[in-house]
Structure 1
Amino acid sequence: MCAEGHRAAIRGVGFTQRDLATRVQRHDMALYLRARELFRINARKLCSSPCSSSSSSCGVQLRILPSSSCFFDEAVQIKLSGLNPGQHVELRAKHKDDKGVVFKASAAYQADAHGEVDVSRQPSTGGSYTGVEPMGLFWSMLPESPHKKLLKRDASSPVLIHIEAHRDGQILTAETNTRRFMADGVLRVPVRDGRLRGTLFIPPGEGPFPGIIDLYTLGGTVCEPRAALLANKGFVVFALAFYGYQDMPKTVDKLDLEYFEEGVTFLQMQPKVKKTGIGIISISKSGDLALSMASFLPNISATVCINTCNANVLFPLHYKDVVIPSFVGSTKRIRVTKSGILDIRDILNDPMEEEKDRATVIPIERASCRFLFIVSGDDRNWNSSFFAEQACSRLKAHGKANYDMVSYPTAGHFMEVPYMPHHPSGLHAAVSQVVTFGGEPKAHAHAQVDAWRRVQEFLKTHL
């Protein structure tokens, strides 16, 4: 149709060209106004939904400083901003470990006059802990399944702690803290050498570095997190299993010190390891093995024993033509706590009390290394304070001053690396029942931080 035809058609239905332009303009304006109103409605919904109230501020932000990624033994600062002044908020932490066990913690806070919460300077008023505890959301986590211990098998992958801010059942904001065990360049090498099993951690650089044998608890498996974190500090660390690991026997009725001697030889043969003496770090049952290694094997320069016994516990220990019998105590001394679980602290009495038990005491006066005994006053696994004091007294009686002892009065048995959740109770392999391990959670957490610092200083000084 030509232009004239268009004009005729418009005139025929009663429109002028100006009328059409006006109507189109009005229609466009109506669409614009409707779109603007829809945007405003959606914006209000976007703001009110996470804050769960029209009186709450939008743009709530959770920051983990200095970075959301850090090493496991490092503290972080958790800050919230964008809240209303005085607003109450709940922080929640959650982690699923390598066995699928979920660990959780929570804490209640109130925003300051600037609408901020800084966990490093403001107190929690309720939840899993109270008071000013910068890392409370980490060490206070408890398992949803009772009596479970946080498990981390492979230190090459991090632990992820998911942190959320809640109010009135709504999530305001969330962030994840990636807590790594291995620094860039650290090598993790699984070891299957003859009958030796375990994991070797080698720091970057030419070296040579001090070498450390890392021994864990009853069960004989390895503790990769501690070994990896020590490798970050400039040590070559061999986390050595001694039973119940991979293809090793699940149970044993005796232990062979020559196996541990093989472990020491293997470590010293590594190209990046200093040819001078090595160190040992141990906890619980492995502590008496560490004492035996220091007493009978050459080239041991420093030994850390965490909550151990000075007698050879549970299994006879064989070394060449020497046999140290096992110290087993009496189950008659088991008590039952108010919560219905066992307290086995006094199963083992004084190993020097009876003639038949004295042969179980490890002759640490033979050792030429330095010893660091770390003990918990509320260790309910056994009386580690008594045993450490007896060990130090034995050394002193033989004219030696090659020992230090550090005591934490209200800490429990499982003294782990910093910020590892407190493990107050669990299934004990020796009695096949759930037992209490003791410890006041907050004091235990602080003890772990202090002990970790002392362990590093001790090993650096004497290796």
Structure 2
Amino acid sequence: MSSQVRLRLLPRARCLFDEPIKVKVEGLRSRQVVTMRARLTDDKGVVFSSSATYRADGSGEVDLNRDPSLGGTYVGVEPMGLLWSMRAQKSHKKFQKATSLKPQLVNFSVHEGEGRILAEETNERILIGDGVSRVPVQEGNISGVLFTPPGGGLFPAVLDILTFKSETRASLLANKGFVVLAISLVEGKFESFEHYPRFHLDHFKEAIDFLKQQPKVDSKGVGIIAKSKGADIALSLATFVPGIKAAVSINGCSANVGIPLYYKKQQILSPLQYDFSKLITSESGTNIVKYIFEDPLAEKNKGSLIPIEQAKTHLLLAAGEDDHNFDSKRYMDQMVERLKRHGKENFESVSYPGAGHLLQPPYKPFCPSCAHGLFPFIGSWGGEPKAHAAAEVHLWKKIQEFFRTHLSCDAAQTKAKL
């Protein structure tokens, strides 16, 4: 490494996972061309990396907030491009951060052309800020992890329903002043819809009641957030179960997908059926699922439609317009039309051109394909990396504002400090 060259991560090398950083290089030759690289290893041991070519200014500096990448895994001025453009060294792998206990370490380095390292620095991206508690929960039918902000409370509460096991979203919301219980859609590995004769809203209501009973929680009402199949469960909870004040549906369906839904020992929604003959498989082995599902508005499927006009909950509906898993924009438009037809104003909707299915908290490596999770094959998720990354930044801020607005509690403004 060159003693003249310095790589700086500002305002500090340690930050929350969802915080942007400024990457600067100093001490280069005037107009020197260098390669910037980033590299990390996820919880499953999969290595992700990115690279970009930059030209220093007349003072020998590179500033990723100002200067364009001339080539590499992204081009143009993209301050966080080295993070979202990372690619897995193995095909069809999704970045996995299953637990929040350990920070994600990202190595940034600057190279002379494609050669020797001139400088490097490690970015420590933490998921739990100082004072946030993490407690595993095994109680009744509840199996999950409870995150609680520091301080005396009272705090608003959110139930995070997961299709892919991850504590990232829940732990980051706790840093923002929310008590969050993260639970999986199903326990263990989800093999296929056929293995589950029915879902019970009662199990999720049990988790909601548990949240309300926590000593630091404002018990007047809770929020729910979920994506994909979990989103139609969230919308069904908002419709049929009282005490839910705000629900976020990300790339969800307007109907109950795949599995009969029960509440209080009675079936309340039939399943929206699907036809695998309409699956589109690429030469690389990825599968586009969105076309296999029947039309929710067809007469025979009316029993699967979620009657969200009955919900007294505030709703935030979000859709990626390039989703390969669900026809999410169309489903969202169906729900918006239904709500408007019934004179409802308790909702917001937002869609993102170029965004795919896996809309998550920002600054993760973009994932085009990986094991599906609900079906036994490799799923194609859609999305264009740059547009998808921008959508994640916007949606993450919107989710926080939405919950702060509708989960009325002064402590919602509390933020844990590093």
Tell me if TM exceeds 0.5. Answer: yes
Is 2:186 the counterpart of 1:243?
yes
Is 1:374 aligned to residue 318 of structure 2? yes
Structure 2 residue 122 is matched with structure 1 residue 176: yes
Cα shift at 1:356: 2.5
Q: Which residue of structure 1 lines up, in the alignment, with residue 413 of structure 2?
A: none
**Structure 1, residues 42-79: CA drift from partner, whole Å, max 9, x if none?**
xxxxxxxx35xxxxxx4111110000000111110011
Deviations 1:76-96 (A, max 9, x none): 001111111111111111111
What's the TM-score once normalised by structure 2's chain length? Answer: 0.93
| Partner Cα distance (1:120, 1:335) in 2 | 40
| Alpha-carbon shift at residue 337 of structure 1 (Å) | 3.6
Task: Report what 1:357 is aligned to.
Answer: 301
Does the CA contact (< 8 Å) of 1:375 and 1:407 recur in 2?
A: yes
Report the alpha carbon displacement of residue 340 of structure 1 after superposing the two structures with TM: 4.8
Secondary structure of 2:72's aligned partner: coil
The answer on whether the counterparts of 1:329 and 1:348 sit within 8 Å (CA) in structure 2 is yes
The correspondence of residues 320-399 of structure 1 with structure 2, limited to 5 A, is 320=264, 321-337=266-282, 339-353=284-298, 355-399=299-343
Q: Equivalents in 2 of 1:459, 1:74: separation in Å?
A: 19
What is aligned with 2:379?
435
Deviation at 1:224, TM superposition (A): 0.8
2:408 equivalent to 1:461:
no
What pairs with 1:8-157 in structure 2 (closer than 5 Å)?
50=1, 58-157=3-102
Counterpart in 2 of 1:187? Answer: 133
- Equivalent-residue separation in structure 2 for 1:95 and 1:252 (angstroms): 36
**Partner Cα distance (1:267, 1:429) in 2:** 27
The alpha carbon displacement at 1:338 in A equals 5.8
Aligned partners of 1:407 and 1:351: how far apart in 2? 20
- Measured in 1, the distance between the counterparts of 2:81 and 2:346 equals 36
Aligned twin of 2:148: 202
The structure whose RCO (Cα within 8 Å, separation 6+) is larger is 2
Contact 1:202 / 1:231 at 8 angstroms: preserved in 2? yes
| Structure 2 residue identity aligned to 1:409 | P
Once residues 263 and 435 of structure 1 are traced to their aligned partners in structure 2, the CA distance between those partners, rounded to angstroms, is: 30
Distance 1:451 1:341 in 2: 27
- Match of residue 410, structure 1, among 340, 347, 354: 354
CA distance in 1, matches of 2:393, 2:151: 27
* Contact kept in structure 2, 1:63 and 1:79, CA below 8 Å: yes
Letter in 1 for 2:166: C
**Deviation larger for 324-333 or 432-441:** 324-333
- Residues 108 and 121, structure 2, Cα contact 8 Å, conserved in 1: yes
2:174 paired with 1:228:
no
Q: 1:340 to 1:240 in 2, by over 3 A?
A: closer
Query: Which position in structure 2 is the counterpart of 1:27?
Result: none
C-alpha contact 2:52 2:69 (8 A) present in aligned 1: yes
8 Å CA contact 1:412, 1:440 repeated in 2: yes
Deviation by residue 1:333-364 (Cα, 9 ceiling, x = unmatched): 222346453222211242111x3211111121
Aligned to 2:411: none
| Unmatched runs of 5 consecutive residues or more in structure 2 | 408-418
Cα distance in structure 1, aligned partners of 2:281 and 2:383: 17
Aligned AA for 2:377?
Q
- Are the structure 2 counterparts of residues 430 and 206 from structure 1 closer, same or farther at C-alpha, using a change threshold of 3 Å? closer
Give 1:187 deviation, angstroms. 0.4
- Larger of the two Rg values belongs to structure: 1
Give the structure with the larger helix fraction: 1
For residues 360 and 234 of structure 2, the distance between their equivalents in structure 1, rounded to whole angstroms, comes to: 17
Counterpart contact for 2:147–2:181, Cα < 8 Å: yes
The separation in 1 between residues aligned to 2:165 and 2:115, in whole angstroms, is: 41
Specify the alignment match of 1:318 in structure 2: 262
Give the aligned length: 404
Separation in 2, partners of 1:304, 1:223: 17
- Taking only the aligned residue pairs, the percentage that are identical comes to 46
Give secondary structure in 2 for the equivalent of 1:275: strand
- Partner of 2:99: helix, strand, or coil? coil
Contact 1:197 1:242 in 2 (8 A): no
Report the 3-state secondary structure (helix = DSSP H, G, I; strand = E; otherwise coil) of the residue aligned with 1:230: helix
- Secondary structure at 2:220 match in 1: coil
1: CA distance, partners of 2:21 / 2:173: 19
Output one character per residue of 1:19-60: Cα deviation in whole Å (capped at 9) or x when no partner.
Answer: xxxxxxxxxxxxxxxxxxxxxxxxxxxxxxx35xxxxxx411
Q: What is the distance in 2 between the residues matched to 1:171 and 1:150?
A: 26
The answer to whether the 8 A contact 1:198-1:222 is kept is no
- Rounded Cα–Cα distance in structure 2 between residues aligned with 1:190 and 1:429: 23
Between the aligned partners of 1:339 and 1:204, the Cα distance in structure 2 is 47
Instruction: Give the CA deviation at 1:223.
Output: 2.8
Q: Is the contact made by 2:258 and 2:274 (CA closer than 8 Å) also made in structure 1?
A: no
**Any conservation in 1 of the 2:25–2:63 contact (CA below 8 Å)?**
yes
Amino acid at match of 1:243: V
RMSD: 1.9
- TM-score, normalization by structure 1: 0.84
Deviation (angstroms), 1:164:
1.2
1:173-194 CA distance string (max 9 Å, x none): 1110000111110000110112
Any idea what the Cα deviations from partners look like across 1:407-437, whole Å, max 9, x if unmatched? 1011110001011111111122344222311
**Letter in structure 1 aligned against 2:351:** S
Q: What CA distance in whole angstroms lies between the structure 2 residues aligned with 1:237 and 1:144?
A: 33
